[in-house]
């Protein structure tokens, strides 16, 4: 059974509507040796992302129409009127999402799963899945440290820290120390 791309297998920037990291196995080499996306692997993911783009686009148009109605009724604030004046009647287009053709992509190795992937800029993780795994591991490591009792930086009392970078025994001492430093 062939592997199919999912949103967890890639890193995708919804702000720029482009892929920032994609796995190496989703590409085949053409006759010149350049990576070419395999259409059957990308079809489901692209359809899912296009549906998300259409839904976001429709929601944006609905917000714009509501703003226009408020401006026409006279119930809009001054800020809303200025925004509507700048935007006018211009409506945005649905973003176009293509399967990973980019200028200057580089081949890299993921720090978590050690798979090769293409990235548009230097990054350490090939997918959302690996990024989440790294954060989970990092959080668990910081929580499992057994910390010895420390002296409070303000009142001098002993306390058991709940964080590895704690310096004060309580919020009250931390705020008082901050105020003393900034007076």
Confidence of residue 34 (pLDDT cuts 50, 70, 90): confident
Residue 63 in domain: yes
Residue 126 in domain: yes
What's the pLDDT at 103?
47
With beta carbons less than 8 A apart as the criterion, state whether 4 and 41 touch. yes
Encoded tokens for 60: 């944006």
Average pLDDT over residues 137-149: 73
Q: What is the extent of the structural domain holding 163?
A: 150-181
Residue 67 and residue 46 share a domain: yes
Residue 168 and residue 133 share a domain: no
- Range with top average pLDDT, 4-18, 28-42, 88-102: 28-42
pTM of the model: 0.49
With beta carbons less than 8 A apart as the criterion, state whether 102 and 120 touch. yes
Q: Which of 90-104, 137-151, 156-170 bottoms out in mean pLDDT, i.e. has the lowest?
A: 90-104
- Torsion of Cα atoms, 15 then 107 then 8 then 63, to 10°: 10
Geometric angle at alpha carbon 63, from 61 and 64, rounded to 5°: 60
Residue 171 and residue 99 share a domain: no
Average pLDDT over residues 62-72: 80
CA distance 88 to 93: 15
What's the number of domains the chain is made of? 2
| Residue at token pair 């899912």 | 48
pLDDT in tens, 76-130: 888 877 777 776 666 666 565 555 555 456 778 888 888 888 887 778 888 888 8
Helix axes 39-73, 78-87, angle to 10 degrees: 130
Residue 1 in domain: no
CA distance 38 to 36: 6
With beta carbons less than 8 A apart as the criterion, state whether 20 and 11 touch. yes
In the three-class reduction of DSSP (H, G, I as helix; E, B as strand; rest coil), residue 148 is classed as coil
Geometric angle at alpha carbon 38, from 37 and 41, rounded to 5°: 115
In the three-class reduction of DSSP (H, G, I as helix; E, B as strand; rest coil), residue 141 is classed as helix
Residue 98 and residue 51 share a domain: yes
Residue 160 and residue 138 share a domain: no
Encoded tokens for 96: 């176009």
Average pLDDT over residues 13-41: 75
């Amino acid at each position: 059974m062939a592997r199919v791309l999912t949103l967890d297998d890639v890193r995708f920037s919804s702000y720029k509507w482009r892929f920032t990291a994609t796995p190496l196995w989703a590409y085949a080499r053409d006759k010149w040796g350049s990576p070419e996306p395999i259409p059957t692997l990308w079809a489901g993911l692209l359809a899912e992302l296009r549906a998300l783009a259409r839904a976001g686009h429709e929601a944006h148009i609905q917000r714009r129409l509501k703003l226009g109605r408020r401006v026409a009724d006279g119930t809009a604030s001054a800020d809303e009127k200025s925004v509507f004046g700048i935007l006018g009647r211009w409506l945005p287009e649905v973003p176009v999402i293509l399967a990973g053709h980019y200028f200057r992509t580089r081949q890299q190795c993921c720090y978590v799963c050690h798979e090769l992937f293409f990235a548009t800029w230097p990054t350490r993780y090939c997918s959302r899945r690996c990024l989440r795994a790294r954060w989970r591991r990092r959080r668990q490591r910081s929580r499992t440290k057994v910390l010895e009792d420390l002296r409070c930086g303000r009142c001098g009392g002993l306390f058991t820290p709940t964080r590895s970078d704690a310096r004060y025994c309580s919020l009250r001492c931390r705020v008082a120390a901050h105020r003393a430093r900034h007076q």
